[in-house]
Structure 1
Amino acid sequence: MPQFFIEAPAGIGREAKQQLMIEVTAAIEEAFRMSPDIQVWLREYSGENVAYDGRLYGDEPMRLVCFLEAPEFTGEDVSRAMTKRINDAIEVAYEGIANTAETLILMNRYPLQDAGFQGRLQSDDPELVEAIKRLNGA
């Protein structure tokens, strides 16, 4: 159920996108151990549709921003490793296209009672509740 959104400049090819998706999915799966329920979304923008401090991009490489929407868990070391692995994959995919040294990854984590799926709260799914308990070492 983790969702990962990548806001990035247009310009990488299909193979680079596929490899990026594989690497990002693997990093999230390693952290959450919730495969095969991980989605990665790539949203691409031209420089004329993104501004930095009010100026349209164009003279400098665009920065990427990513959003993780996922269940709440407490593993700071796991988050650190996942962030590093995702950033490494982004650096490879966007080398020469974007400013990958300043990629921002924002992690929004939700208690299961604050996420609905298939018409019910995730806190009503006993398997998911147990998986999150294991993830958090409880």
Structure 2
Amino acid sequence: TLELINPSLDNTLAESWAASAGYGSPGSLNSSYMSNEDEVLTATEFILHNNYPNPFNPVTTISYTLPQAALVRLTIYDLLGRQVKSLLHEYQTSGNRSIQWNATNDLGRPVAAGVYLYMIHAGEFRQTKKMVLLK
């Protein structure tokens, strides 16, 4: 099977794909891509990547890039703007980061299928993206 080499690559290009060492993606962790929190970063801007897989069930990965150290908050909201889950609220150094969401709320209960928003606050940077939970 095939898997995307890096989730931030264009998945319409053949060179973005490689033979899988396991079950392939989406739906499984990539065998050829590993996030390294100590990786040297040359990026000059904050980036919130698209979550993968999307749509998802029951777990999705949210990746982001920090060009400099910052206080990072990553929060999940429903379409009415209500907070569903606070995934992260901590100071982080620069680098590529990722975190998984297992479709539960702040109380640990499973959430309903539907569209959710994930928002990052890192220093002055703010960005929101959509994701879809299927059940």
The answer, yes or no, to whether TM exceeds 0.5 is: no
Structure with the larger RCO, 1 or 2 (CA within 8 Å, 6+ apart): 1
Q: TM-score, normalised by structure 2?
A: 0.27
Higher strand share: 2
Whichever of the two has the greater Rg, that structure is: 1
Higher helix share: 1
Q: TM-score, normalised by structure 1?
A: 0.26
